[in-house]
Amino acid sequence: MKILVTGGAGFIGGNFVHYMLKKYPNYEIFCLDKLTYAGNLSTLESVIDNPKFTFCKGDIADSKYIDKLFSENKFDIVVNFAAESHVDRSIENPQIFLHTNVIGTGVLMDACRKYGNIRYHQVSTDEVYGDLPLDRPDLFFTEETPIHTSSPYSSSKAGADLLVLAYYRTFGLPVTISRCSNNYGPYHFPEKLIPLMISRALANESLPVYGNGLNVRDWLYVEDHCRAIDLIIHKGKIGEVYNVGGHNEKSNIDIVKTILKLLGKNEDLITYVADRKGHDMRYAIDPTKIHNDLGWLPETKFEDGIKKTIDWYLNNQKWWKDIISGEYKDYYSKMYGNK
């Protein structure tokens, strides 16, 4: 089995590469990543020399590059993690998100059609559903919840999802989509909530919290997400959407306070800042479908996952300090500059 993992030097994609190489030692895993600001090749340092692993630097929206890559390699499955994914950045520059998240998805699927109707999986987000009110804890996103986006980021992901389903209906491309809740765990880029709070707390710096901090997210440990995608690409029904949630709803302020408590830091470090534009109040996923169809359930409780995550950041400080300093961008040159 030969699998192309796009965005495999990012947070979730990188964890998926590690997961797949460990679980399926006979699979060939190709990682395609543009290595933009959130792509970090050092995330893959421990597998770079694995003979079953190949890294390719390129842009999923570059049709000539993608065509060449597919013509030279007979992929069995494509799993597309590659995306611009930070909401704040999408507000500042929406066009980059449209280019990667929509155009890039189309380019990949055109290559899948051209080179054998290759099995394609799109990694999406619960943010395509918009948000839920805080005073209705009984409400959850299901696969039938209408798309109702709030940001250029979520709109670009929703557009990509619709394109994927259109390629299934129009061309018969064998596709699936997964929509996940907020992931956390090892290799999470330091601008995101949990690693940002960990790194700033360790440095005794202020911890910026949007608005009143009451926005609620459903947190999913990244390895549980990898297991879900593994099941979907091997056993999922073609043309279907699967919601992947953690059953771990927490408010942002509770997350921050938990991190401070586990690190032995004072809550005086918390600083409330002006709220994000169009900030969604609550995300909550109902994963009944993937449980009933594929037997998946999240295995990691948040109380355990956050401890494992903090321990990982404490034991891998060079990884995230290199990102904060910008030195991580030199890793590719060091590894491949003379090859």
Catalytic residues: 126-127, 153
What token pair was written down for 92?
Answer: 């500042």
Rounded-to-10 torsion of CA 69, 174, 229, 146: 120
What token pair was written down for 229?
Answer: 């995608």
Instruction: From 88, 114, 101, select the one nearest 60 (Cα to Cα).
Output: 101
Q: Please, are residues 170 and 164 in contact by the beta-carbon 8 Å criterion?
A: no
DSSP-derived 3-state class of residue 224: helix
Beta-carbon-side half-sphere exposure of residue 289 (alpha carbons within 13 Å): 20
- Number of Cβ within 10 Å of residue 316's Cβ equals 13
Q: Please, are residues 233 and 77 in contact by the beta-carbon 8 Å criterion?
A: yes
Number of helices (H), then strands (E), belonging to the chain: the values are 13, 12
What token pair was written down for 291?
Answer: 């449980």
- Number of Cβ within 10 Å of residue 261's Cβ equals 11
Q: At what angle do helices 317-325 and 193-202 cross, to 10 degrees?
A: 100
